[in-house]
A and B are shown apart, each in its own frame.
Chain A
Amino acid sequence: MEIPYTIQARPDTGLYNAKLGIWLFLASEVMLFGGLFSAYVLLRVGAPDGYWPHGWLNVTLGTVNTLILALSAITTLLAWVACKTGQFGRFKIFHACTLALALSFLCVKMYEYHDKWIHYEIQLTDGRIADGHLVSQNAQEVVIEGRYVSDEKDLYDLRAQKNIPRDEIKIERSLIKRMENYGPWHHTYLAIYFTLTGLHALHIFAGSLVIGYLWGPGSRMYRKNPEQFTNRVEVSGLFWHFVDLVWIFLFPVLYLT
């Protein structure tokens, strides 16, 4: 038994099965991220005045990651073109670049997550708030690198605040009323940030696995059946472009506004 149109396109639709399948899958992905983006909109609109954070993320790192993904989209396209024109060596080179770029994206992302993880807001018993990155802590005291503010609201809009001081602050445990890091539990903005970018990073990871397979052991298929192999590269490339496109929406929504 052979299933028709696994490799050749069906004349009236102009598509082979897997290409139609990936487009349908991407449609469902649009709805998945659409659900999360609509959650972002509702949470942001529902936040009380002055309590939606601005400028909490590092725009430079975000820009770097945007460029990384844009570049990887180009190398993905070139890898497919190389397959299509029968230049297997070039395919290997371009998709090696794609994998390296994907890996660097994930590294930057990990650094950003870590930066939030060690960032603490510490409410003191005297009403002041200490905010900064953890340096060290023990049973008696906590040392952070940051600043004091008197009103929590000062922590929300960082866009206009230039040169935020990063002094080393020692705080005794007995003075601490509440101490919490900038994890997803800290604010709904961080919740949606971690969920959206986490899900996106999972997609990057899954895409790298597929591309890694096609680049490594899966590339043996090229010798036996170059046409089917090229189709696979195309389908995985479509997925990769979609994941890039999601980031193009994530970057302005989370970093720039």
Chain B
Amino acid sequence: MSELVHNFPPHGEPDRDHGHGHHEHEHHDPGFWRGCIFSSDHKIIGIQYGLTALGFMLFGFFLMLLMRWQIAHPGQAVPFLGPLLEKVLGQMAAGGAISPDLYNSFGAMHGTIMVFLGVVPLAFAAFGNYVVPLMIGAPDMAFPRINMASYHAFFFGGVVMLVSFFIPGGAAQAGWTSYSPLATTIPTNGQAFWLIGMVLLITSSLLGAVNFIATIIQLRAPGMTWMRLPFFVWAQFVTAFILLLAFPPLEAAGVMQLMDNLAHTSFFLPTGLAIGGHLANISGGGSPLLWQHLFWFLGHPEVYVLILPAMGIVAEVIANNTRKPLWGYKSLVNSVLFVGFLSFIVWAHHMYLTGMGQKIATFFQATTMIISIPSVIILTCLFLSLWGGSIRINTPMLFVLGFLPMFGIGGLTGLPLGLAASDLYLHDTYYIIAHFHYVVAPGTIFALFAGVYFWFPKMTGRMMNEFWGRVHFWGSLVFMNLVFMPMFAQGIKGMLRRMSDGAVNYSAARVPNAIDALPGTVMELNTWILWAAVALGLAQIPFIVNLFWSIGHGEKVKNDNPWDATTLDWQTPTPPPHGNFAHAPHIVRGPYEYSQPGHDTDFTPQNEPDAPAIAPKVSPVPAAP
């Protein structure tokens, strides 16, 4: 192996005497358009993705607030925003209240925006773009211009999604899953916009995935062998493969649904379909189950696209703040590869209720139980990494420590959903909502917050404010739980999701003699959740202010490596210039050499040469007693 390492030609910039102060003469200021909008530098693109995704997440959050208002106070005008809604959306928001149609489109778009325009771009594209090339010692991504095209496709996809709110009939209303025939029969072109937007987003993801895999395989610096890669890079590598192979079937399904909507084909429309009491004028012969299979063939791996990069961030922050190597690095790597593979054969556990048959359900039940094993191994390794460390508590570490139990709750509450017998009861209730939000919101999003606080100093050269970071953390932790924990109770009591009246029609107050009508306590929770959600929104204000204020006013970093980290992303100038490294890095050790005996510092960077032999040993090994 070492021969191979020495045979590699060093990367560009052979001039070893240049410090990073000398970069100005070759660093032309490219201007605003070339520098910020049409940049092909992976760091700029990463920041573009990050800011856009954070914006979309905030927008998706507001959609959710409006829906929570409607659930708690069905049919009542939205306070403050009501008149604005009516002005912008017209009949859909008559009187400032949210009509059932509008509620449906908010629900569909909340899911779509949060998954495809919020979390995936932030977790995979933003952090991946910024950090992966730095971590592997590459000057940029393998295909910088394709990288730029990927962001632009993503941006236009987002624009198409947003525009669909303002067309007659409004945005897509068939849920983020867009089940046919519902998605084809709702009389709005919003669904066509949704599909075109999705095709753009899928294209963006595919370009990104190709780029990431090629970069990680081809551009690792000399000495960066596979088992010296930081876990974050492994997580992004597997995520890229999932995106590469799971997204195209959804693209195929999207094209077919687009044909159904625009060319009046019947891919997903069965024979004898009646719309509004009349037989639909279609050829029929299609299969609604086909859509569900193709959708969930992406949809389930997508869950791992959301969670694996988050786990990567968690691993980096834990290793850095416990000041010791990750526990079970090899197990982590093997588990993440296994998860990536298995994620392709569990999709139909979303479809136990759709009548595909017991035998198929049994198969997917088995694979679903099996995939929980590597997931638990990953979480266990991360927990065990805390053991015996002298933990440094700071904002990123707090978010990571919040992630571990919150993701645990999300994962464990998923087990009853993976078994067909209990899933039949819980399917489409608020229990599901609570389960997957625990995985993604206080799970993934907490890890993403940790990532923002952690890498912000590298991106800007300034630290984010620690006090307001902690306020943000504690507020988010408390109110996240107040929002989602009651939903478990509501779901177990039988409250269904996607009801624009917040289940009033099924409440004991409305139908007193009905068996299993929802009791008043369940209905009251709707109000509690609304105010917890509002408070959760307020808890994000310190973050937003902190993020933008710290760019110009935060405390300056003490050096290029303020967290005393070992990985290569911290061995660059701050912020890294175009081309990243002052010296072409040569990697000589693994990623997590913290607190190694015999070193002056408690961290040994991956590219720090072994101590020269001439250094005399200060204290010889004490003789055995």
- 1/0 contact string of B2-21 vs chain A (CB within 8 Å): 00100111011100000000
Contact call B265/A4, Cβ cutoff below 8 A: no
The answer, yes or no, to whether A15 is at the interface (CB within 8 Å) is yes
Interface of A is mostly: helix
A205 CA to B13 CA, complexed, in Å: 41
A5 CA to B286 CA, complexed, in Å: 48
B residues less than 8 Å from A199 (CB atoms)? 255
A25 CA to B142 CA, complexed, in Å: 14
Contact call B251/A35, Cβ cutoff below 8 A: yes
The answer, yes or no, to whether A213 is at the interface (CB within 8 Å) is no
A residues less than 8 Å from B297 (CB atoms)? 35
Contact call A21/B252, Cβ cutoff below 8 A: no
Tell me the nearest residue of chain B to A29, going by C-beta: B248
- 1/0 contact string of A4-46 vs chain B (CB within 8 Å): 1100001111010110110011011101111110110011001
With beta carbons under 8 angstroms apart, the residue of A1, A36, A43, A48 that contacts B252 is A36
Which of A75-83, A142-150, A184-192, A244-252 contacts the other chain?
A184-192
The answer, yes or no, to whether A195 is at the interface (CB within 8 Å) is yes
The answer, yes or no, to whether A207 is at the interface (CB within 8 Å) is no
| Contact status of A34 and B249, CB under 8 A, knowing A39-B256, A188-B285 | yes
With beta carbons under 8 angstroms apart, the residue of B9, B12, B142, B287 that contacts A17 is B142
Contact call B244/A1, Cβ cutoff below 8 A: no
With beta carbons under 8 angstroms apart, the residue of A11, A18, A185 that contacts B283 is A185
A residues less than 8 Å from B491 (CB atoms)? none
A32 CA to B298 CA, complexed, in Å: 12
- 1/0 contact string of A61-92 vs chain B (CB within 8 Å): 00000000000000000000000000000000
A232 CA to B13 CA, complexed, in Å: 26
The answer, yes or no, to whether B419 is at the interface (CB within 8 Å) is no
Tell me the nearest residue of chain A to B206, going by C-beta: A28
Count residues on chain A whose CB falls below 8 Å from chain B CBs. 44
| Contact status of A3 and B290, CB under 8 A, knowing A24-B244, A195-B259 | no
Contact call A11/B290, Cβ cutoff below 8 A: no
The answer, yes or no, to whether B452 is at the interface (CB within 8 Å) is no
A43 CA to B11 CA, complexed, in Å: 53
Tell me the nearest residue of chain A to B8, going by C-beta: A11
Contact call B4/A43, Cβ cutoff below 8 A: no
| Contact status of A4 and B219, CB under 8 A, knowing A12-B4, A191-B259, A199-B255 | yes
Count residues on chain B whose CB falls below 8 Å from chain A CBs. 53
A residues less than 8 Å from B245 (CB atoms)? 27-28, 31
Contact call B256/A21, Cβ cutoff below 8 A: no
Tell me the nearest residue of chain A to B289, going by C-beta: A42
The answer, yes or no, to whether A2 is at the interface (CB within 8 Å) is yes
A residues less than 8 Å from B211 (CB atoms)? 21
Tell me the nearest residue of chain B to A33, going by C-beta: B252
Contact call A1/B285, Cβ cutoff below 8 A: no
A36 CA to B282 CA, complexed, in Å: 21
Q: Which of A164-221 contact B (CB under 8 A)?
A: 183-188, 191-192, 194-195, 199
A192 CA to B290 CA, complexed, in Å: 13
The answer, yes or no, to whether A51 is at the interface (CB within 8 Å) is yes
| Contact status of A184 and B263, CB under 8 A, knowing A2-B12, A3-B219, A4-B12 | yes
| Contact status of A2 and B139, CB under 8 A, knowing A28-B209, A28-B244 | yes
The answer, yes or no, to whether A47 is at the interface (CB within 8 Å) is yes
The answer, yes or no, to whether B210 is at the interface (CB within 8 Å) is yes
A3 CA to B209 CA, complexed, in Å: 18
A197 CA to B214 CA, complexed, in Å: 30
Contact call A188/B266, Cβ cutoff below 8 A: yes
A residues less than 8 Å from B493 (CB atoms)? none
A2 CA to B9 CA, complexed, in Å: 13
Tell me the nearest residue of chain B to A51, going by C-beta: B285
A35 CA to B143 CA, complexed, in Å: 27
The answer, yes or no, to whether B217 is at the interface (CB within 8 Å) is yes
Contact call B259/A184, Cβ cutoff below 8 A: yes
Contact call B244/A191, Cβ cutoff below 8 A: no
| Contact status of A191 and B265, CB under 8 A, knowing A27-B244, A31-B245, A46-B287 | yes
B residues less than 8 Å from A46 (CB atoms)? 285, 287
B residues less than 8 Å from A183 (CB atoms)? 263
Total cross-chain contacts (CB, 8 A): 151
Q: Which of B254-313 contact A (CB under 8 A)?
A: 255-256, 259, 263-267, 282-283, 285-287, 289-290, 293-294, 297
A13 CA to B214 CA, complexed, in Å: 11
Contact call A20/B218, Cβ cutoff below 8 A: yes
A90 CA to B246 CA, complexed, in Å: 41
Contact call B8/A195, Cβ cutoff below 8 A: no
With beta carbons under 8 angstroms apart, the residue of B142, B251, B285, B289 that contacts A47 is B285
Q: How far is the CB of B206 from chain A (nearest CB, A)?
A: 5
A48 CA to B219 CA, complexed, in Å: 54
A residues less than 8 Å from B142 (CB atoms)? 3, 5, 17, 20-21
B residues less than 8 Å from A39 (CB atoms)? 252-253, 256, 267, 290, 294
| Contact status of A28 and B247, CB under 8 A, knowing A11-B7, A17-B142 | yes
A35 CA to B255 CA, complexed, in Å: 11
A12 CA to B294 CA, complexed, in Å: 37
With beta carbons under 8 angstroms apart, the residue of A13, A35, A38, A185 that contacts B265 is A185
Tell me the nearest residue of chain A to B265, going by C-beta: A191
| Contact status of A5 and B219, CB under 8 A, knowing A20-B214, A39-B267 | yes
| Contact status of A24 and B255, CB under 8 A, knowing A3-B139, A17-B142 | no
Contact call A24/B209, Cβ cutoff below 8 A: yes
Tell me the nearest residue of chain B to A9, going by C-beta: B218
Contact call B214/A192, Cβ cutoff below 8 A: no
Tell me the nearest residue of chain A to B253, going by C-beta: A35
A residues less than 8 Å from B219 (CB atoms)? 3-5, 17
Q: How far is the CB of B20 from chain A (nearest CB, A)?
A: 14
Contact call A192/B139, Cβ cutoff below 8 A: no
Contact call A17/B252, Cβ cutoff below 8 A: no
A22 CA to B501 CA, complexed, in Å: 50
- 1/0 contact string of B567-610 vs chain A (CB within 8 Å): 00000000000110000000000000000000000000000000
The answer, yes or no, to whether B441 is at the interface (CB within 8 Å) is no
Contact call A3/B259, Cβ cutoff below 8 A: no
Contact call B252/A188, Cβ cutoff below 8 A: no
Contact call A5/B285, Cβ cutoff below 8 A: no
A residues less than 8 Å from B259 (CB atoms)? 184, 191, 194-195
With beta carbons under 8 angstroms apart, the residue of B12, B210, B267, B579 that contacts A191 is B267
The answer, yes or no, to whether B213 is at the interface (CB within 8 Å) is yes
Contact call A43/B251, Cβ cutoff below 8 A: no
Tell me the nearest residue of chain B to A180, going by C-beta: B283
B residues less than 8 Å from A185 (CB atoms)? 263-266, 282-283
A46 CA to B293 CA, complexed, in Å: 15
Residue with the greatest number of chain B CB neighbours at <10 A, chosen from A15, A17, A34, A188: A188
A25 CA to B207 CA, complexed, in Å: 8
With beta carbons under 8 angstroms apart, the residue of B210, B249, B289 that contacts A35 is B249
Contact call B263/A4, Cβ cutoff below 8 A: no
Q: 3 nearest interchain CB pairs?
A: A35-B252, A1-B579, A35-B249
27 A-B residue pairs with Cβ-Cβ distance under 8 Å, sorted by A, are A3-B144, A4-B12, A4-B139, A11-B7, A13-B217, A13-B218, A17-B143, A18-B143, A20-B142, A21-B211, A24-B209, A24-B213, A31-B244, A31-B246, A32-B251, A34-B248, A35-B248, A35-B294, A35-B297, A36-B255, A38-B294, A39-B294, A42-B289, A47-B285, A184-B264, A186-B283, A192-B267
- Beyond the given A24-B209, A24-B210, A39-B267, please list 20 additional residue pairs across the A-B interface where CB-CB is below 8 A: A3-B138, A3-B144, A10-B218, A17-B218, A20-B213, A20-B214, A20-B218, A24-B214, A24-B244, A27-B245, A32-B249, A35-B253, A39-B252, A42-B293, A43-B285, A46-B285, A185-B263, A191-B266, A191-B267, A195-B259
